């Protein structure tokens, strides 16, 4: 579920403070519904988080909404809980934490979390796996 406490699945993960610059949900390649959160991390670098296929247009596997879990709702709720907002669009400007995995410029954000509430982490890969979705 969105907002579960962070698990220690990423060995060597580093947690940094960050500010959400923008949130968006849109159609990538005119077919796949994807969510993105763009952040500025405490080290001054900017990075995107997301890109998971949350749904799609009719006629595509991703567009079979009656046959799949509501990944878009899970994404939005996870982001809103991490940012502590009631409206998705209000997440911009909020301070959060990011869990970084990997080294240097190859590091990715695997989860976002509330700035001070430890139980408000959102890791899409873990959340979607619990829902039975195939997002490695």
Tens of pLDDT, residues 114-131: 999 888 999 999 999 998
For 102, other C-beta atoms within 10 Å of its C-beta total 14
In a domain, 18, yes or no: yes
- Whether the pLDDT of residue 5 is over 70: the answer is no
In a domain, 7, yes or no: no
In a domain, 4, yes or no: no
3-state SS assignment for residue 54: strand
- Whether the pLDDT of residue 134 is over 70: the answer is no
Angle at 84 (CA atoms; ends 113, 13), nearest 5 degrees: 5
In a domain, 2, yes or no: no
In a domain, 135, yes or no: no
Cα separation, 44 vs 82, whole angstroms: 20
Cα separation, 6 vs 1, whole angstroms: 11
Cα separation, 94 vs 91, whole angstroms: 6
The full length of the chain comes to 136
Expressed as residue numbers, the domain containing 58 is: 14-130
Q: What is the CATH number of the domain that holds 95?
A: 2.40.50
Number of domains in the chain: 1
In a domain, 62, yes or no: yes
């Amino acid at each position: 579920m969105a907002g579960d406490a962070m698990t220690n699945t990423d060995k060597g993960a580093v947690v940094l403070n960050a500010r959400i610059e923008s949130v968006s949900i849109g159609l990538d390649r005119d077919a796949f519904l994807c969510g993105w959160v763009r952040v500025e991390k405490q080290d001054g670098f900017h990075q995107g988080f997301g890109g998971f296929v949350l749904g799609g247009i009719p006629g595509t596997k991703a567009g079979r909404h009656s046959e799949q879990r509501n990944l878009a709702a899970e994404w939005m709720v996870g982001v809103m809980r991490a940012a502590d907002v009631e409206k998705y669009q209000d997440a911009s400007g909020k301070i959060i934490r990011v869990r970084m995995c990997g080294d240097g410029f190859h590091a990715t954000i695997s989860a976002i979390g509330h700035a001070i509430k430890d139980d408000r982490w959102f890791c899409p890969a873990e959340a979607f796996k619990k829902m039975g979705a195939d997002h490695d």
